[in-house]
Structure 1
Amino acid sequence: MAGERRLQDAQVTHDPVAFPGSHQSYPWMTLPSWTIPRPVSLNASSHGDDEGPLIQAIRSGDADKVRDIMMSVTNPRSLMGPNKDGWTPLHEAAYYGQIDCLTILLAAAPWMINSKTLKNQTPLILAVSRGHLACMKYLLKNGADPGIPTTSNDTPLYEACATFNVQMVQLLVQYGADVNQKCLDGWTVLHEAVTQNNQEICEILLDYGAMVCSPNLYGVTPLFLAAQCGCVKVLKFLLKNGADINSEAKDGATALYEACRNGHTEIVELLLSQSADANRPGKDGLLPLHVAAKGGSDGIVSMLIPTTSKTKIQQSGISPLHLAAENDEDDVLELLIQADFEINAVLAPKHSHMYEDRRITALYFAVDNSNIEAATMLLEAGADPNLDPFNPLLLAVRKDHVEMATLLMEHGANVNASIPTHPTTFPACVMLSVRNLTMLKCVMDHGGDAIACFQCEYNFSVDQILFDLLNEQLEIYDSWAHIKEKSTLPKCLMQLCRLRIRQLMGTERLKYISTLPLPRRLIEYLNFKQQK
């Protein structure tokens, strides 16, 4: 990172660099332009084929030749003019760290010590960016101004922090560099030192008056950055020196929120030990526990559960269970269930309306992801499979997920649930499974309303269509020949009686038919195990 942040050679282009753990969904989580590597655009005469002998001598560090060239002309000033990009020989000498050449040039033109390129780059900032300590010292001793920013608001002190140069930082502040001068987007040199996790530089800056809680344009403080980047050592230092642990960025996120979002377990532990507020929501209404659950940080979730208010969770309109289930974070889901979070908590309308199917339960997310383990945990903990507008069972049937559908029906899912947007007397589960006989058999075994398939209020011959479809499918499965035989007419009286008895018993009581105090042959008869 340090090398990328330095001023680079001409005509080099770079892609933006992101902070560790940064996300593009928030403006304060993208790097402002001043953190992108900044190439120095040197002109053709400095780096091209038409460069003059003076520039060549400076580049090679030939101080004697530079002196001879300067003495060979009546007016040395004529050699010190800028090229088309504003670069002078003095800038060249500072950039390449040629201290002897710099001394000669500055003696000939001392008034140029703070001369600027078209990008407002002074010889001092070029020397700092390239790590040329001797050139920097000489320029400062001869009156170079350490507070002149570039057009992108970079300062020599910022460049020294970006390149981890403690000696340069110390020297610059001693010569009066402003430790609170704002760079692009309101960032200070302390922000930069924090992102580098450099406590030594942070100490120097604070000794010279750096504001520990200074926010940038997005309300991001140095403490927030330390939490975002996982800089434990610097975070401890900032807290010790008065940083506000609960300061918020403009979107309401706190340092704790950000540490949770990036999965920095040690940072979260430190912040909580210093009484960070775990119940401060961001502007989206989510708490740190929400973002930790979404990210699958089970260690962080374990730390947050005791300190998070369930009332605040309820007020947010979304449970961590929803986020864990949606993102297939089964370990987190198990932790939340064990902590007695409301298993049937429903999404508030503002969250539910984000989904076309208007889902509201954590169970629905698990079914939608075909996550049988998560669905099992939720159902065994008491999840109601009949709360969502579009029944999760219909979703499982539509996905041809027989295991999931069976699990839901065994836990009380309404096998005769209808599709809310298409109300009809025809059973929805049958309609969705009519071409999957395994699923259809499963539905019927769990109480699917077969009679309703043959009761069309619009006098449409649904019964014949269904019968034809079933026969078509039954032809494919040789092992189901006996079922096809049952479907043919006429039906014997014994079969009709059996169907009537089962109908009168109802779906729920049929589950316990084998426990009835009846003769074994009668139970087998009712369970279709005895044909005669």
Structure 2
Amino acid sequence: MAASSLSMSGAVAPTLGYDDYSLYSGLSEEEMIELAIERSLAEAHAAGAQSGSSKAPALQLRQNPVRQNPVRQNPSVRRTLPSRPQNTPPPANPPRENIPEKIVNIEGHFVTGNGKRMVRWRRYDGSLQVSPEPVEEADPLFHAIWEGNVGRVRELVKSSAKSMTEPYRDGWIALHEAAYYGQRECIEILLRAQPGMINKRSNKNQTPLLLAVSRCRVDCVELLLENGADPDIPNAAKETPILKACERENPEILAILLNHGAQVNKPCTQGWTALHECMCRGNVEICEMLLEAGAKINARNMYGISPLFTASQSGRVETLRFLIKNGADINTQANDGATALYEASKNGHEEIVELLLSQNADPNLATKAGLLPLHIAAQRGNDGQRLLSNMNYPYSSQSSVKIVSMLIPVTSKARVRRSGISPLHLAAERNKDEVLETLIEAGYDVNAMLSEDRSKMYEDRRSTALYFAVVNNNTDATEMLLDAGADPNLDTFSPLLVALRQGCIQTVTLLVEHGADVNAFVSTHPTSFPGTVMFCMKYLSLLKYLMDNGCDALSCFQCQYGSNPHPPLKMTRHRDNMDDIGEEPPKVPVQFCEMISADINSRWAGPIIDVLLDYVGNVQLCARLLEHLDSYEDWAVIKEKSEPPRPLMQLCRMKISGLLGRRRLKYMGTLPLPARLIKYLKHEERSRDDDF
């Protein structure tokens, strides 16, 4: 027995029980949807009648509901919905608002994969809705065609000739509908009655022939052509039936069209020909048919792309080999200068690259941007794989390495230098470590600089591959480049400053050990002290590391105002910001006391001064630094530490360090000095040591 539930009004509302499920379990999803729609509308009407009169009888549903939109691939096979047994309550219905009686604000129509007509519309609240398209207003002739009811079509054609040419949705007439749904017998009836509508166009310039081709209705295509259909009438996008046949990869329909004189080289709006479309699909049989029919093998679309270019871009090896065999230009360039080899390298098609190179494709033809196939191959890899995964492009970092390895021997290094950018830059920028290693092993200059034009494209005016690696915080690539001889002091903005700003001690150590200038300045932000100090005020361990390696701490205490009153601070932004690296530098250098007074640094003023005092002798703190030390009582010991005279041990340490020099301080551990002396110079004399 079916269960019942109490409605809000107190009446017993029917729900769908087990018996109903078993009754309709054999229905398709489409039929169940249509049944639910019909019953929803029926019960809504019944509810309205009951609200008007409590004594009104309940609305009885039809025992055998008829489908509202019977569209099928095979209309001859019809299915009758089973009747509901008596005394069984009707099934529950979906909310009425999902199936409006009248759809307004329609945005478009479409047909599902199983041929069901749907409409896309918006409610007044702006929400997007999708519903079955209402067909009550359609002419009975259309219903008969959708059902494949040939007898009914014949009767309606005899009774009214006007309905045959009366447009319905999107300007489709009855012949369009019959061609679209493959109703050959209906087409014959319609053409006998009105042969002049054979080439009738819809609102989108679609002919019945084009619709039949797009739906692969072979018998309908043949019938329409035999009755005089023009095979060269395009739709609104200038797509001809022959292009649609190639798109659907249907050689049978293509042969029929060619036998009826279809033009094989007619382009669409963007200059795309049937041969272009064939290259995307990789169908050699269709490609051969088109060439035999006179297709231009080097035809170019509006972007200058040829069929060979398309085959390389899509990774279609067999069709590409077929085109090359038939004399296609292997070095043709698109409007942007890209070649087939460039596109194959870009999309990671190893086999295509190998084939093109074996056929003497030129690897030194550059795009208008100056990039060679080697450049784009070095740039693409794992990122390309994620980007192209939906297009089934088998790009991986390993394929990138293989393609780069194939291109290196045939690419001119002089041509690479003339481009103003090295493949090393692109590999480092995209974190392609394996490609970077391959290029280094091939002898590419790790100190190659970006051309001025390319460097200006970056706000920080970067120039070297090392800078790209440091910006990406890629320590492996940084170490690889430094070990290969990369100079860390070539860029306008030192890579060491970038590493300090990121707070990466590993990268900072690598750069300093390979000769990075620990006293580097920021040209756009002149300061009276090293810029490296400015970028590590938040990281005291890094600040101490720089001081141990010869950073100039004395300049931090050389204030031009001294013990005199300081002018008010005028800084409107933090001076460790690199976003304005290209701005014009201020005329007056920033003092250390001004920098440490910034809100972001002032809380660390005491500890910063404490670290710096370990690397200077007798110094006089300016009025502003003393003001900072007086602001917190725990910093009183730091103020006492700064008062002259400094301890003799500190002065001796500074003297010895000065005699050793900055370079030797970096490699102090390798000098023939006693362990105690080394610890003393590193300010570690108070630490426990087993050698004492």
Distance (Å, rounded) in 1 between the aligned partners of 2:561 and 2:279: 73
Q: 1:329 Cα shift?
A: 0.8
Distance (Å, rounded) in 2 between the aligned partners of 1:421 and 1:129: 63
Q: 1:120 Cα shift?
A: 2.2
Q: Match of 1:80, SS?
A: helix
Q: Match of 2:434, SS?
A: helix
Q: 1:527 Cα shift?
A: 5.0
Aligned to 1:102: 187
Aligned to 1:357: 460
Aligned to 1:6: none
Q: 1:404 Cα shift?
A: 0.9
1:282-297 equivalence runs, <5 A? 282-296=367-381, 297=400
Aligned to 2:172: 87
Root mean square deviation, CA, Å:
2.9
C-alpha offsets along residues 472-514 of structure 1, whole Å, 9 cap, x if unaligned?
46999xxxx9x97994655332331221121132111234555
Q: 1:376 Cα shift?
A: 0.2
Aligned to 2:23: none
Amino acid at match of 1:230: G
Amino acid at match of 2:532: C
Q: State whether structure 2 residue 135 is matched by structure 1 residue 51.
A: no
C-alpha offsets along residues 264-286 of structure 1, whole Å, 9 cap, x if unaligned?
11111111111111111101011
1:162-311 equivalence runs, <5 A? 162-296=247-381, 297-311=400-414
Aligned to 1:68: 155
Distance (Å, rounded) in 2 between the aligned partners of 1:518 and 1:440: 25
Matched-pair identity in %: 52
Q: State whether structure 2 residue 617 is matched by structure 1 residue 499.
A: no
Go from structure 1 to structure 2 and tell me whether the alpha carbon gap of 1:187 and 1:66 turns closer, same or farther (over 3 Å shift): same
Aligned to 1:20: none
The 8 Å contact of residues 142 and 174 in structure 2, kept in 1 or not, is answered as: yes
Q: Match of 1:107, SS?
A: helix
Aligned to 2:511: 408
C-alpha offsets along residues 434-456 of structure 1, whole Å, 9 cap, x if unaligned?
23211111111111111222223
Aligned to 2:477: 374
Distance (Å, rounded) in 2 between the aligned partners of 1:319 and 1:440: 34
Go from structure 1 to structure 2 and tell me whether the alpha carbon gap of 1:251 and 1:458 turns closer, same or farther (over 3 Å shift): farther
Q: State whether structure 2 residue 196 is matched by structure 1 residue 111.
A: yes
Q: 1:11 Cα shift?
A: 3.7
Go from structure 1 to structure 2 and tell me whether the alpha carbon gap of 1:118 and 1:509 turns closer, same or farther (over 3 Å shift): closer
Range that drifts further, 302-311 or 142-151: 142-151
Distance (Å, rounded) in 2 between the aligned partners of 1:224 and 1:512: 57
C-alpha offsets along residues 240-281 of structure 1, whole Å, 9 cap, x if unaligned?
111111111101111111111111111111111111111111
Aligned to 2:489: 386
Amino acid at match of 1:68: E
The 8 Å contact of residues 549 and 665 in structure 2, kept in 1 or not, is answered as: no
Higher relative contact order, chain-length normalized (CA < 8 Å, sep 6+): 1
Q: 1:236 Cα shift?
A: 0.9
C-alpha offsets along residues 89-122 of structure 1, whole Å, 9 cap, x if unaligned?
2222212211112112211222222222232222
Aligned to 2:243: 158
The 8 Å contact of residues 513 and 666 in structure 2, kept in 1 or not, is answered as: no
C-alpha offsets along residues 310-352 of structure 1, whole Å, 9 cap, x if unaligned?
1011000011111111111111111111111011000111111
Distance (Å, rounded) in 2 between the aligned partners of 1:40 and 1:108: 30
Which of 300, 303, 319 pairs up with 2:422? 319
Aligned to 1:332: 435
Which of 664, 672, 680 pairs up with 1:509? 664
Distance (Å, rounded) in 2 between the aligned partners of 1:61 and 1:252: 54
Go from structure 1 to structure 2 and tell me whether the alpha carbon gap of 1:487 and 1:331 turns closer, same or farther (over 3 Å shift): farther
Distance (Å, rounded) in 1 between the aligned partners of 2:668 and 2:171: 95
Range that drifts further, 377-386 or 457-466: 457-466
Query: Gaps spanning 5+ residues in structure 2: where?
Result: 1-106, 112-116, 120-132, 382-399, 567-590, 612-633, 687-691
Range that drifts further, 117-126 or 81-90: 81-90
Go from structure 1 to structure 2 and tell me whether the alpha carbon gap of 1:152 and 1:495 turns closer, same or farther (over 3 Å shift): closer
Go from structure 1 to structure 2 and tell me whether the alpha carbon gap of 1:294 and 1:523 turns closer, same or farther (over 3 Å shift): closer
Q: State whether structure 2 residue 574 is matched by structure 1 residue 471.
A: no
Range that drifts further, 117-126 or 347-356: 117-126
Distance (Å, rounded) in 2 between the aligned partners of 1:464 and 1:153: 72
Amino acid at match of 1:314: R
1:3-14 equivalence runs, <5 A? 11-12=108-109
Go from structure 1 to structure 2 and tell me whether the alpha carbon gap of 1:493 and 1:66 turns closer, same or farther (over 3 Å shift): closer
TM-score (norm. length: structure 1)? 0.85
Distance (Å, rounded) in 1 between the aligned partners of 2:110 and 2:610: 68
The 8 Å contact of residues 190 and 205 in structure 1, kept in 2 or not, is answered as: yes
Amino acid at match of 1:80: M
The 8 Å contact of residues 261 and 292 in structure 1, kept in 2 or not, is answered as: yes
The 8 Å contact of residues 110 and 118 in structure 2, kept in 1 or not, is answered as: no
Q: Match of 1:433, SS?
A: coil
Distance (Å, rounded) in 2 between the aligned partners of 1:95 and 1:514: 85
Q: 1:50 Cα shift?
A: 1.9
The 8 Å contact of residues 426 and 456 in structure 1, kept in 2 or not, is answered as: no
Q: Match of 1:186, SS?
A: coil
The 8 Å contact of residues 379 and 411 in structure 1, kept in 2 or not, is answered as: yes
Amino acid at match of 2:137: D
Distance (Å, rounded) in 1 between the aligned partners of 2:140 and 2:661: 102
Go from structure 1 to structure 2 and tell me whether the alpha carbon gap of 1:447 and 1:471 turns closer, same or farther (over 3 Å shift): same
Distance (Å, rounded) in 2 between the aligned partners of 1:48 and 1:86: 15
Amino acid at match of 2:661: G
Go from structure 1 to structure 2 and tell me whether the alpha carbon gap of 1:137 and 1:409 turns closer, same or farther (over 3 Å shift): same
Query: Gaps spanning 5+ residues in structure 1: where?
Result: 1-9, 15-38
1:376-455 equivalence runs, <5 A? 376-455=479-558
TM-score (norm. length: structure 2)? 0.66
The 8 Å contact of residues 124 and 136 in structure 1, kept in 2 or not, is answered as: yes
Distance (Å, rounded) in 2 between the aligned partners of 1:319 and 1:341: 8
The 8 Å contact of residues 357 and 390 in structure 1, kept in 2 or not, is answered as: yes
The 8 Å contact of residues 402 and 442 in structure 1, kept in 2 or not, is answered as: no
Go from structure 1 to structure 2 and tell me whether the alpha carbon gap of 1:517 and 1:157 turns closer, same or farther (over 3 Å shift): closer
Amino acid at match of 2:655: R
The 8 Å contact of residues 548 and 682 in structure 2, kept in 1 or not, is answered as: no
The 8 Å contact of residues 139 and 163 in structure 2, kept in 1 or not, is answered as: no
Q: 1:367 Cα shift?
A: 0.7
C-alpha offsets along residues 116-136 of structure 1, whole Å, 9 cap, x if unaligned?
223222221121111111111
Q: 1:47 Cα shift?
A: 6.9
Distance (Å, rounded) in 2 between the aligned partners of 1:238 and 1:330: 36
